[in-house]
């Protein structure tokens, strides 16, 4: 799967630097500001929900950028929009970049949008640097990554890659009981009207590179402009219930209590200790914790809490799950606990050949990078099943995302776009 990536033997340092130099910061900044108006909120954020009017207007805007690139726009049955730049050998599978245009209801300007616009700017830079790719190049915007209007998200990439069926996905409904299918049909009719042709799903790809904001604090802390993403963490969700016995807070001696809060607190502490690794790679969170009956002077008889645990390594995640299961089988403050698995997603490792190519290209461009693992999900999780896939992250202020205050610096965005453009050149030569 990885050996056919090595088309990079004849690259020269000078080409790549010329390509990077052709990335235009003002044009990228202007595009970010333009796109942020489709669904712009008065607080500076963006509300561009999947397949709403703003999302459709953003797609039309994207389609209009094709002519400058000499690219052909098309849309598939789940609404993914592609701009295809021809290569010298049109029969080869394309190298693809992109992300998503939809946002959270109180989202920011960069989550998803940056990856689409950085891809657009990278393609323009390649053209302006006079680079003619051997392979075709494509820019893609995947439908409904966020899952904020229609849940679950990553609909476009999942259907494209055959992970979910188009029919099932069309039947998702929003809070007004509108189906994804009917919203999609409105959007597709508008693109049809604009003369955008249809394209098939599941077309082959040589590689997929997605640029995204980190949505975490590591790059900012380490003052590194671009992260090379090695993979996406696996995640397991559990629900834990702890059952004790309700009693009067004033009259029940400690020796006769079965305090569900005390038990749950002790179990939560033991789980946290079990998840504590010296490398700080385990992500362990108890985010929900509900105590019943919740009266000041009644000893609680029930606690229900959530566990969200993540790790890039499947075996480590599995071992943690086993430890948690064992801990929940013990009695805590003489209370009984039960642990129920709610969800599990296996970790994804991006191929070394691809992440090494990103490292090497960054080295050529003298852009500082660091390796990291994605803590959030992305369309790349499905693409990784379809073709060699990797991601680039740029820092976001305070690690904040899904919030109107989401913020990146233009210089980081430019560095990421330069690395993306040069890497696409390396992959398509």
What the block records as the tokens of 278 is 């010296």
Parallel, antiparallel or unpaired: strands 302-311 and 289-292 = antiparallel
By CB under 8 A, residue 31 contacts a second copy: no
The string of DSSP codes covering 294-347 is: --TTEE--EEEEEEEEEES-HHHHHHHHHHHHHHHHS-BTTBEEEEEEEEEE--
**398 annotated as ligand-binding:** no
- Between residues 37 and 283, which has the closer beta carbon with respect to a second copy? 283
Stretches 51-59, 91-99, 155-163, 267-275: which one binds a second copy (CB under 8 A)?
Answer: 267-275
Cα–Cα dist 390/230, whole Å: 7
**Nearest-CA neighbor of 346 among 315, 325, 371, 390?**
315
Task: Select from 88, 198, 221, 385 the one that contacts a second copy (CB under 8 A).
Answer: 221
Residues 369-398 that bind a second copy (CB under 8 A): 374-377
- Binding segment for a second copy (CB under 8 A), chosen from 77-85, 163-171, 216-224, 314-322, is 216-224
Q: Binding a second copy by CB under 8 A: which of 95, 266, 365, 367? A: 266
Contact call for residue 254 and a second copy (CB under 8 A): yes
Nearest to 153 by CA among 180, 175, 177: 180
Residues 315-374 that bind a second copy (CB under 8 A): 374
Please report how close the Cβ of residue 247 comes to a second copy at its closest, in angstroms.
6
For residue 11, the tally of other CB atoms under 10 A from its CB is: 17
Report d(CA 398, CA 216) in Å as an integer. Answer: 7
Q: Could you give the angle at which helices 113-128 and 25-36 cross, rounded to 10 degrees?
A: 150
Whether residue 152 has a cis bond before it, omega within 30° of 0: yes
CB of 294 to a second copy, least distance (A): 5
Residue 223 near a second copy by CB under 8 A: no
DSSP string, 52-87: SHHHHHHHHHHHHTHHHHT-EEEE-TT--EEEEE--
Residues touching a second copy: how many (CB under 8 A)?
Answer: 57
Minimum Å gap between C-beta 241 and a second copy is 15
Cα 153 from Cα 163, distance rounded (Å): 12
Judged by CB under 8 A, the residue of 298, 323, 336, 409 near a second copy is 298
Residue closest to 331 by CA, chosen among 275, 381, 273, 264: 264
Is 100 annotated among the ligand-binding residues? yes
**Cβ 335 to a second copy shortest distance, Å:** 14
**CA angle (63, 45, 144) in 5-degree steps:** 50
363 is in an annotated binding site: no
Considering the complex, what minimum distance in angstroms separates the CB of residue 279 from a second copy? Answer: 10
Is residue 226 within 8 Å of 218, Cβ to Cβ? Answer: no
Establish if 306 lies at the interface with a second copy (CB under 8 A).
yes
DSSP class of residue 144? Answer: -
CB 367 within 8 A of CB 296: no
Q: Which is nearer to a second copy, 130 or 294 (CB)?
A: 294
List 152, 294, 330, 410, residue binding a second copy (CB under 8 A): 294
Instruction: Establish if 314 lies at the interface with a second copy (CB under 8 A).
Output: no
Report whether 111 belongs to an annotated binding site: yes
175 contacts a second copy (rule: CB under 8 A)? no
Q: Is residue 228 within the footprint of a second copy (CB under 8 A)?
A: no
Which span sits near a second copy by CB under 8 A: 32-40, 43-51, 180-188, 279-287?
279-287
Out of 27, 41, 272, 407, the residue judged to bind a second copy by CB under 8 A: 272
In whole angstroms, give the CA distance from residue 162 to residue 78.
11
Q: Confirm or reject binding of residue 308 to a second copy (CB under 8 A).
A: yes
Q: List, in sequence order, every residue forming a beta bridge with 325; answer none if it has no partner.
A: none
Annotated binding site for Zn(2+): 100, 111, 146, 212, 402
Q: Which residues bind a second copy (CB under 8 A)?
A: 214-218, 221, 233, 235, 237, 247-256, 259, 261-262, 265-266, 268-269, 272, 276, 280, 282-291, 293-300, 306, 308, 310, 374-377, 399, 401-402
């Amino acid at each position: 799967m990885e050996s056919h990536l090595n088309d990079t033997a004849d690259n020269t340092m000078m080409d790549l630097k010329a390509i990077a130099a052709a990335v235009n910061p003002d044009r990228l900044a202007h595009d970010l500001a333009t796109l942020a108006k489709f669904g712009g909120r008065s607080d500076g954020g963006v509300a561009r929900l999947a397949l709403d009017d703003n999302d459709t207007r953003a797609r039309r805007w994207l389609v209009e950028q094709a002519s400058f690139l000499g690219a052909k726009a098309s849309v598939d049955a789940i609404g993914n929009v592609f701009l295809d730049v021809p290569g010298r050998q049109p029969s080869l599978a394309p190298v693809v970049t992109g992300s998503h245009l939809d946002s959270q209801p109180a989202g920011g300007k960069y989550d998803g949008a940056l990856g689409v616009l950085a891809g657009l700017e990278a393609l323009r830079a390649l053209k302006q640097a006079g680079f003619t790719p051997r392979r075709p190049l494509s820019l893609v915007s995947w439908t409904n990554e966020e899952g904020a209007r229609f849940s679950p998200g990553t609909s476009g990439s999942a259907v494209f890659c055959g992970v979910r069926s188009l029919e099932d996905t069309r039947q998702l409904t929003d809070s007004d009981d509108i189906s994804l299918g009917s919203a999609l049909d409105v959007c597709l009719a508008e693109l049809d009207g604009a003369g955008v042709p249809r394209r098939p799903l599941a077309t082959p790809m040589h590689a997929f590179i997605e640029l995204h904001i980190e949505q975490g604090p590591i790059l900012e802390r380490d003052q590194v402009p671009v992260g090379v993403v090695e993979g996406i963490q696996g995640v397991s969700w559990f629900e834990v219930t702890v059952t004790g016995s309700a009693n009067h807070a004033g009259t029940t001696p400690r020796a006769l209590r079965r305090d569900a809060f005390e038990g749950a607190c002790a179990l939560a502490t033991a789980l946290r200790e079990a998840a504590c690794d010296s490398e700080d790679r385990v992500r362990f969170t108890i985010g929900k914790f509900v105590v019943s009956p919740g009266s000041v002077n009644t000893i609680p008889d029930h606690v229900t809490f959530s566990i969200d645990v993540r790790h890039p390594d499947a075996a480590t995640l599995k071992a943690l799950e086993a430890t948690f299961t064992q801990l929940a089988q013990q009695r805590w403050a003489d209370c009984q606990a039960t642990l129920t698995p709610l969800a599990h997603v296996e970790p994804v490792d991006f191929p070394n050949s691809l992440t090494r190519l990103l490292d090497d290209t960054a080295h050529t461009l003298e852009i500082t990078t660091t390796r990291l693992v994605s803590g959030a999900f992305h369309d790349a999780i499905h693409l990784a099943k379809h073709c060699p896939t990797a991601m680039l992250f740029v820092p976001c202020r305070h690690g904040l995302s899904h919030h109107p205050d989401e913020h990146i610096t233009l210089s980081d965005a430019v560095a990421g776009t330069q690395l993306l453009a040069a890497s696409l050149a390396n992959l398509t030569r």
